[in-house]
């Protein structure tokens, strides 16, 4: 009986410990360290963000050396719980509707309704143990004309200061310019950190912040390769996407030379996107393919975060050409004619490489920012002959804009991809 | 007995009381609906269990991942013309909603009013009019004030309304019942964009206030810095050739980083400023707009832009019409004026104004008006 009682009390003790650990609020703050640099501290210890915009693949994320994820809205509590289980922190987005989605910041009713809703969301999540930073709004400045949106950001940031002293506030903008720096400084004094979504513009972001007299810390809240909105277009307005191998080199350089080096103001970064999404193509920003296979961008991020390459590396496509013309140029084919696609890739330490080719109709979209785009379905590809570096195929009979993809992978499904848009006329 | 005046007016009937078509949906047999045919993206049922009013209610499950549009329409009094104009200030569309389990605080559902010209305005569920701030297994009340519809922006004729549509996005599963028109007080205003400044009267001082300037931060670059040789804001450049990292660009907002509207005067306007230098620097001027397809105009200033004055002070005149592409530029939304030093190292630039200019844009220094 006494033994059973002891066992019972032990169980109660363990259960209590477990609940306490689950519900422990972690104190996060921005300080200036002894070098005069801004520093994020979590429970009194320096916390440099090695993060990714991510909703899944958390095991691989942790294995690759990351410590944090960024999510864009509060509509999925399971993500926070899952991140916490993986010992990842979360920059949690409060979805402030951008003007481009139809939100009218001169409409008191719409503004107040949104604020009250988001205040309620703050109360729901403020004590979550995974919470690191509040991300108030994402790219509300993109194609906006009513600067009143900054009043909403400030009301929310101020509210957070009142109810949650444990987590800093950040607002995330689509690149920096002097007017945005002015408005956020003037209208949002309760914002602690500036979040910068910067793709091509990451090259000058740090210098520009200083030129625009920004004097608080920043987080590179989205970064990666140059976006479709910055890409060269063909004469039929298809975006030209560089092969994965070149994109991987760009990622590595940007992390090492731009993000890591800014010790004074930068608190860390979230690479985009640890997952997959359609943005002009299905492979532009995603570090995974739509079937879940990781690309070489994952290997690059491991190297960035840990200084070591994974033992097994994805192959890397460095070049792709159609009819002996490189991927940067326009490509036009006649209907139902044979054409040759060539790829050049590095195998690294892989003995066997599997190559696949897939044809899609071009996915034109006028959407901007993170707005949702629909993926096209693949169409029949008539293969005449195929080797590991070359594909001879028959162009579609129907005139129109197409895009052909080459996928290479090793036995572990680590992949690289490249594509070429072409016009049949 | 109450004393009654012979001339006491009869009690006035409110506009909402006079409105005859207050019921949009109570049950499937009394209310006309279209778009209730099931497909891969949408399943519509008329559930008879746990209705709020009538013999059944609407139950819709949807997933928009493979469809561009998911919606159902309420024929609303069998498509009779509805004149909503008199009741806009005092009425709302009310409905009851619930889910089978769990709770939602947001639902991707929109309300669309369509007039007989096919024009549509929309409104969404606002947290302020969602009973209890959530949708759960209880029937919760939602109100959509008629004033919340963007009918003015969409030029919808609210006197000639044909139908109400419910549009669904993303994914969901919702029970809907008792869609009716009710009296409602909507105490919220729509204001005007206050971040617009119209400039009309010459001469106009531009760039007033150092907080509206950028490119000057002596913590990071010793040059440029603010000067004091002129009456208004000025910038001193002392670019040493050896120091490659010195900044060579600065800019300012014409007026407090607002949309500066010079659309009514730009064709007869020039930017003027002073330069104090022994040798004139080579400058590029760039104008930015907040809106429009063409958001950037630029020009490299030449000797025709300068009028020599005394004591090493030069006055520059840049007619806005001399900027290539000025016709396509949104002059109602001028954002920034920026200068890049292409050559030259030791000078001060300042006293920026917008003046009237009616001469030849290519030879501003020949105009007698200066």
How far apart are the CA of A212 and the nearest CA of chain B, in angstroms? Answer: 5
Peptide bond into A62 cis (omega under 30): no
A338 in the same domain as A293: no
Residue A153 neighbours by CB under 8 Å, 6+ apart: A96, A136, A137, A140, A171, A184, A187, A188, A191
The pLDDT tens digits of the residues spanning A69-89 come to: 999 999 889 999 999 999 999
A391 in the same domain as A254: no
Tell me how far apart the alpha carbons of residues B227 and B235 are, in angstroms, rounded to a whole number.
5
Tell me how far apart the alpha carbons of residues A409 and B301 are, in angstroms, rounded to a whole number.
56
CATH number at residue A358: 2.60.40.10
Among chain B residues, the shortest Cα distance to A117 is held by B127
* ipTM of the prediction: 0.90
Is the residue at A208 inside a domain? yes
Is the residue at A7 inside a domain? no
Among chain B residues, the shortest Cα distance to A207 is held by B220
A412 in the same domain as A274: no
Is the residue at A383 inside a domain? yes
Write down which residue in A263, A288, A306 finishes a domain.
Answer: A306
A393 in the same domain as A293: no
b (16+ CB within 10 A) / e for B231-248: eebbbbbebeeeeeebbb
How far apart are the CA of B88 and the nearest CA of chain A, in angstroms? Answer: 15
Among chain A residues, the shortest Cα distance to B170 is held by A372
Closest partner residue to A120 among B133, B212, B251, by Cβ? B133
A197 in the same domain as A67: yes
Q: Give the residue from B135, B151, B185, B188 with the most A CB atoms within 10 Å of its CB, the best one to mutate.
A: B188
Tell me how far apart the alpha carbons of residues A134 and A138 are, in angstroms, rounded to a whole number.
11
The pLDDT tens digits of the residues spanning A328-375 come to: 999 999 999 999 999 999 999 999 999 999 999 998 776 665 666 777
Q: 3-class DSSP state for residue B214? A: strand
DSSP state letter for A379: B
CATH number at residue A162: 3.20.20.80
The pLDDT tens digits of the residues spanning A32-59 come to: 999 999 999 999 999 999 999 999 999 9
Confidence of residue A1 (pLDDT cuts 50, 70, 90): very low
Question: Of all helices (H) and strands (E), which one includes residue A54?
Answer: strand A49-54
The pLDDT tens digits of the residues spanning A150-179 come to: 999 999 999 999 999 999 999 999 999 999
Is the residue at A213 inside a domain? yes
CB of A217 closer than 8 Å to CB of A38: yes
A64 in the same domain as A167: yes
Cβ contact B192–A182 (<8 Å): no
The pLDDT tens digits of the residues spanning B96-154 come to: 999 999 988 888 999 999 999 999 999 999 999 999 999 999 999 999 999 999 999 99
Among chain A residues, the shortest Cα distance to B134 is held by A117
pLDDT confidence of residue A20: 43
How far apart are the CA of B11 and the nearest CA of chain A, in angstroms? Answer: 32
Cβ contact B253–A182 (<8 Å): yes
Query: What are the backbone angles phi and psi of residue B242, rounded to the nearest 5°?
Result: -65, -30
Per-domain residue ranges for chain B? 15-183, 196-366
Among chain A residues, the shortest Cα distance to B145 is held by A109
CATH code of the domain made up of B15-183: 2.60.120.430
A201 in the same domain as A160: yes
The pLDDT tens digits of the residues spanning A94-108 come to: 999 999 998 999 999
**What is the Cα B203 distance to its own chain's centre?**
30
Confidence of residue B240 (pLDDT cuts 50, 70, 90): low
Closest partner residue to A117 among B105, B122, B186, by Cβ? B105
Cβ contact B188–A147 (<8 Å): no
Mean pLDDT, residues B301-320: 91
A336 in the same domain as A256: no
A43 in the same domain as A79: yes
What is the DSSP annotation of A242-289? PPHHHHHHHHHHHIIIIITT-TTTEEEEEEEEES---BSBSSSS-SB-
Contacts of A102 in chain B (CB under 8 A): 122, 150
How far apart are the CA of B1 and the nearest CA of chain A, in angstroms? Answer: 47
Portion of chain A with pLDDT greater than 90, in percent: 88
Q: Report how far apart, in Å, the C-alpha atoms of A67 and of each of A48, A50, A59, A91, A287 are.
A: 9, 5, 11, 11, 17
Is the residue at A184 inside a domain? yes
A10 has pLDDT over 50: no
Write down which residue in A306, A339, A360 finishes a domain.
Answer: A306
A189 in the same domain as A91: yes
B346-356/B204-205 β-pairing = antiparallel
pLDDT confidence of residue B242: 46
Tell me how far apart the alpha carbons of residues A36 and A31 are, in angstroms, rounded to a whole number.
9
pTM of the model: 0.90
Is the residue at A12 inside a domain? no
The pLDDT tens digits of the residues spanning B28-45 come to: 987 789 999 999 999 999
Quickly name the fold that domain B196-366 has: Jelly Rolls (2.60.120)
A351 in the same domain as A266: no
A45-46/A38-42 β-pairing = antiparallel
Contacts of A184 in chain B (CB under 8 A): none
Contacts of A108 in chain B (CB under 8 A): 188-191
Query: What are the backbone angles phi and psi of residue A289, rounded to the nearest 5°?
Result: -90, 170
Write down which residue in A306, A327, A360 finishes a domain.
Answer: A306
Range of the domain at A370: 316-424
Q: How many domains does chain A contain in total?
A: 2
The pLDDT tens digits of the residues spanning A186-225 come to: 999 999 999 999 999 999 999 999 999 999 999 999 999 9
A300 in the same domain as A328: no
Cβ contact B192–A145 (<8 Å): no
């Amino acid at each position: 009986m006494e033994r059973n009682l002891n066992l019972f009390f032990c169980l109660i003790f363990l259960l209590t410990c477990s609940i306490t650990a689950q519900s422990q609020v972690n104190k996060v703050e921005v300080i200036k360290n002894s070098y005069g640099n801004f520093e994020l501290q979590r429970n009194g210890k320096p916390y440099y963000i090695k993060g990714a915009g991510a909703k899944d693949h958390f095991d691989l994320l942790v294995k690759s050396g990351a410590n944090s994820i960024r999510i864009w809205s509060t509509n999925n509590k399971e993500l926070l719980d899952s991140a916490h289980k993986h010992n990842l922190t979360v920059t949690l987005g409060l979805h402030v509707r951008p003007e481009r989605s139809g939100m009218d910041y001169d409409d008191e009713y719409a503004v107040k309704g949104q604020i009250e809703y988001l205040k309620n969301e703050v109360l729901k999540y403020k004590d979550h143990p995974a919470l690191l930073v509040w991300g108030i709004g994402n790219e509300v400045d993109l194609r906006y004309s009513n600067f009143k949106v900054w009043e909403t950001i400030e009301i929310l940031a101020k509210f957070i200061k009142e109810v949650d002293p444990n987590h800093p506030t950040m607002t995330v903008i689509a690149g920096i310019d002097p007017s945005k720096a002015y408005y956020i400084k003037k209208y949002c004094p309760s914002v602690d950190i500036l979040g910068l979504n910067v793709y091509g513009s990451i090259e000058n972001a740090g210098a520009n912040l200083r030129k625009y007299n920004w004097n608080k810390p920043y987080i590179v809240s989205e970064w990666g390769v140059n976006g479709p909105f910055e890409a060269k277009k063909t004469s039929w307005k298809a975006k030209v996407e560089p092969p994965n191998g070149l994109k991987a080199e760009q990622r590595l350089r940007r992390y090492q030379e731009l993000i890591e080096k800014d010790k004074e103001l930068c608190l860390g970064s979230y690479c985009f996107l640890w997952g997959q999404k359609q943005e002009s193509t299905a492979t532009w920003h995603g570090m995974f393919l739509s079937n879940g296979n990781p690309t070489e961008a994952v290997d690059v991020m491991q190297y960035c975060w840990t200084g070591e390459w994974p033992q097994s590396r994805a192959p890397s496509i460095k070049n792709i050409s159609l009819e002996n013309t490189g991927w940067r140029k326009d490509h036009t084919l006649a209907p139902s004619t044979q054409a040759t696609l060539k790829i050049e890739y590095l195998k690294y330490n892989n003995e066997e490489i599997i190559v696949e080719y897939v044809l899609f109709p071009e996915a034109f979209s006028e959407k901007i920012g993170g707005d949702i785009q629909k993926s096209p379905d693949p169409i029949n590809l008539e293969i005449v002959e195929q080797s590991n570096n070359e594909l001879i195929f028959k162009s579609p009979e129907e005139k129109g804009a197409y895009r052909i993809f080459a996928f290479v992978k090793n036995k572990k499904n680590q992949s690289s991809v490249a594509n070429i848009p072409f016009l049949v006329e | 007995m109450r004393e009654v005046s012979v001339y006491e007016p009869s009690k006035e009937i409110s506009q909402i009381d006079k409105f005859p078509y207050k019921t949009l949906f109570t049950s499937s047999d009394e209310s006309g609906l279209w778009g209730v045919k099931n497909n891969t993206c949408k399943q519509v049922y008329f559930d008879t269990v746990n209705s709020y009013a009538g013999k059944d209610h609407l139950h819709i499950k949807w997933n928009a991942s493979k469809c561009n549009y998911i919606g159902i329409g309420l024929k609303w009094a069998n498509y009779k013309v509805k004149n909503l104009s008199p009741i806009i200030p005092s009425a709302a569309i009310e409905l009851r909603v619930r889910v089978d389990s769990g709770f939602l605080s947001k639902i991707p559902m929109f309300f669309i009013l369509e007039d007989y010209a096919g024009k549509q305005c929309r409104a969404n569920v606002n947290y302020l009019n969602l009973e209890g701030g959530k949708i759960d297994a209880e029937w919760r009340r939602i109100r959509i004030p008629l004033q919340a519809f963007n009918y003015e922006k969409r030029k919808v004729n609210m006197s000639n309304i044909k139908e109400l549509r419910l549009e669904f996005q993303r994914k969901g599963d919702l029970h809907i019942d008792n869609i009716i028109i009710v009296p409602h007080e909507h105490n919220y205003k729509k204001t005007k964009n206050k971040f617009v400044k119209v400039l009309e009267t010459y001469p106009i001082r531009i760039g007033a206030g150092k907080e509206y300037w950028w490119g000057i931060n002596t913590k990071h670059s010793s040059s440029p810095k603010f000067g004091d040789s002129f009456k208004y804001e000025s910038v001193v450049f002392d670019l040493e050739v050896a120091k490659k990292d010195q900044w060579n660009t600065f800019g300012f907002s014409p007026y407090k980083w607002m949309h500066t509207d010079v659309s009514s005067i730009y064709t007869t306007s020039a930017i003027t400023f002073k330069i104090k230098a022994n040798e004139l620097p080579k400058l590029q001027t760039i104008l930015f707009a907040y809106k429009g397809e063409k958001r950037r105009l630029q020009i490299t200033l030449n000797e025709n832009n300068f009028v020599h004055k005394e004591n090493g002070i030069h006055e520059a005149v840049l007619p806005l019409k001399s900027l290539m592409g000025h016709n396509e530029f949104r002059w109602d939304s001028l954002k920034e004026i920026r200068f890049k030093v292409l050559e030259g190292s030791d000078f001060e630039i300042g006293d920026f104004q917008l003046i009237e200019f009616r001469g030849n844009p290519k030879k501003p220094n020949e105009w007698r008006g200066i």
